[in-house]
Amino acid sequence: MKKLFLVSWVAFMIYFAYFITTSVMAQTYSYGSKGDVVREIQTRLKRWGYYTGAVDGIYGYQTYVAVKNFQRKNGLYPDGVAGPKTLAALGINVSQSKTQTTSGPGSQNLDLLTRVINGEARGEPYIGQVAVGGVVLNRVRDPRFPSTIPGVVYQPGAFTAVADGQINAAVVDSSRKAAVDALNGWDPSGGAIYYYNPEKTTNKWILSRPVIKVIGKHIFCK
């Protein structure tokens, strides 16, 4: 009886280890991986100029190099493996082997931009909330910054709301409306890529940036 129990226990542990391993691997793509998620990775990297190979759904050497370059640009550890953080920076959410894109209103990009505006600028004039969204999108378009909204938002030290947890605060309606307006092209910041509250910052470098305009308590600058 004890022997049977021991065999059953060992079999259970082997199955459990296999289940955990395959569950983790389902969210990680590396050299040799194949499928729709790999194809989506290649498509996005190609769109942003990191990848020049065929979009064939095969994670080969060119895909590996492209992922490494993308990781370097977006402040991620450059191991060439598309794990959860890299997939998030690419704007890809893998759920039960299905890929959800983040290309427009109602998507993850909208949700993330809403939370950044909410954390950084709720209580500011509405035009100032839209301007904060404009700064995020201006950085996405600027070659000096990551080329995706998640990449910009989660770049180390970029936004106070990420550091202090305000990005997870309850969202007010104006924040979501401001995110939609920003994604639709309204940029009250005048092309700014930085902003700050002079009452709160002690950063001498940010204080030296050329000022574009002042909206509410925020100064928007180049």
Domain boundaries along the sequence of the chain: 28-99, 108-221
Res 107: pLDDT: 63
**Amino acid of residue 64:** Y
- Residue 6 DSSP SS3: helix
**Amino acid of residue 149:** I
Model confidence pTM above 0.75: no
Task: Quickly count: other Cβ atoms within 10 Å of residue 172's Cβ.
Answer: 15
Q: Which spans in the chain are helix H? A: 2-25, 36-47, 61-73, 84-90, 108-121, 126-141, 149-153, 160-164, 173-183, 204-207
The tokens for 117 are 């505006």
The residue whose two tokens read 């060992």 is 10
DSSP state of 53: S
The tokens for 63 are 């895909």
Low-confidence ranges of the chain (pLDDT < 70): 1-26, 94-107
For the CA atoms of the chain, what is the radius of gyration?
21
Res 68: pLDDT: 92
Task: Quickly count: other Cβ atoms within 10 Å of residue 175's Cβ.
Answer: 25
Provide CATH code, domain 108-221.
1.10.10.2520
Res 7: pLDDT: 46
Render pLDDT for 14-48 as a digit per residue (tens, 0 to 9): 444 444 333 434 478 988 888 889 999 998 898 88
Res 209: pLDDT: 94
- Nearest Cα neighbor of 65 from 83, 75, 79, 86 is 79
Res 133: pLDDT: 96
Return the CATH number of 28-99, one of 1.10.3720.10, 3.40.50.10860, 3.40.50.720, 1.10.101.10: 1.10.101.10
Residue 191: which residues within 8 A CB-CB, separation 6 or more?
Answer: 138, 212, 222
Residue 18: which residues within 8 A CB-CB, separation 6 or more?
Answer: none
